[in-house]
Amino acid sequence: MNAPKSATVSTTICWSCNTPTNAAAFCPQCGKIQSLPANADYFTYFGLPRKLWMGMDGLEQKFLQLSWKLHPDNFVNTDEREREMSLQRSSRLNDAYRVLRDPVARVEYLLELEGMRKEGEHKQQAPPELLEEVFELNESLDELREAKSAGANLDVLTIKLRVAEKNFGKKLHEVDNEMKTAAQQWDAALDANASESDREAILQRLNELLNRRSYIRNLVAGVEKEL
């Protein structure tokens, strides 16, 4: 795995006055809105390092400031190029905020940026330590479906599944706490300029936890659907 990519983009030039803009939304010289750099990720868009345990107050404040400055209403009297840039940047801003404000989506996005999580590479497999509980849960769900088809009393099975649902809900909470810890470890590793192997180990741990969380969440959703 390559070293984490920094939240920077190549130097860009203002389309209006040729001043270097360093990928800023507006030219520091003439104030004109700038096009969105092709290699600007969501962290870069907000001027943030690729950290996971960020302060939400700061993120929201930046979002509100940029939303106001980039709003298409501010460019109704400009030329078509600037209006298009406004729409492009506003859309990207909303996408970036939606991802970065959510702790789980933020982890998944970082893993994608770091080449640790590509579509189709992670499969929904039961964690080994949960195999027995998952088997029992699936048996109970099958029994519930059969009882529904037969018009039988569902009270006992419903209670059993509610207990299982609560149990897996607790496991989901535990995974979230573990992800929080791993996210803080990632941030500390960046601050300490930790070795590539140390950073990779943390990313692998985050990827494992994310897969585990996704599996358990789907189990809980499946129980809720049947009940």
Which CATH class for the 1-101 domain?
A: mainly alpha
Whole-model pTM: value is: 0.82
**C-alpha atoms less than 13 angstroms from C-alpha of 136 in its C-beta half-sphere:** 11
| Count of positions (residues) in the chain | 227
**Tokens 């860009």 appear where?**
12
pLDDT at site 130: 83
Report the DSSP beta bridge partners of residue 26. 33
pLDDT exceeds cutoff 80 at 30: yes
For residues 135-156, one letter each, b for 16 or more C-beta atoms within 10 angstroms of the residue's C-beta and e for the rest, the string is: eebeebbebbeebeeeeeeeee
CB atoms within 10 A of CB 54: 19
**Where do runs of H (alpha helix) occur along 48-154?**
56-70, 80-100, 103-113, 131-150
Instruction: Give tens-digit pLDDT for 108-122.
Output: 999 999 998 865 555
SS3 26: strand
Instruction: Give tens-digit pLDDT for 144-170.
Output: 888 888 888 888 889 989 999 999 999
Distance of CA 18 to the CA centre of its chain: 35
CB 168 within 8 A of CB 216: yes
pLDDT at site 121: 53
- CA–CA separation, 89 and 101 (whole Å): 18
**Tokens 């494992």 appear where?**
208
pLDDT at site 182: 96
pLDDT exceeds cutoff 60 at 2: no
Instruction: Give tens-digit pLDDT for 42-91.
Output: 998 888 889 998 666 788 888 999 999 999 999 999 999 999 999 999 99
For the record, the structure tokens of 55 come out as 């302060």
Longest dimension (CA), the chain: 77
pLDDT at site 123: 57
Distance of CA 162 to the CA centre of its chain: 29
Domain locations along the chain: 1-101, 128-226
pLDDT at site 10: 55
CB-based contacts of 176, cutoff 8 Å, min separation 6: 103, 104, 213
